[in-house]
Amino acid sequence: MQNFRASADLVGIGPQEHWDLIGGLSARGIGGGRIYDALIATCTLAAGAKVILTWNVQDFLAVAPPGLEVRRP
């Protein structure tokens, strides 16, 4: 834990961004565990990344925000 804490940056989005994300997903009929994928993708973009690597490409493509490329490692 100590080694990881010293080298890791925590990122996230604010409360209103959470509600906006949930509302947008709900309007598109997206719920359940896919909300977590959307939150991960949204935080990834908010942290400044342009690409997310995942084995679940199709899941993330459905919920990734514009500007975030989804790729398999």
Boundaries of domain holding 31? 2-71
Residue 55: which residues within 8 A CB-CB, separation 6 or more? 72, 73
Give the pTM: 0.86
Report how far residue 63's alpha carbon sits from residue 40's, in angstroms, rounded to the nearest whole number: 10
Split into its structural domains, the chain has a count of 1
Which tens digits make up the pLDDT trace of 3-61? 788 888 888 999 999 999 999 999 999 999 999 999 999 999 999 999 999 999 999 99
H or E segment and range at residue 24: helix 15-27
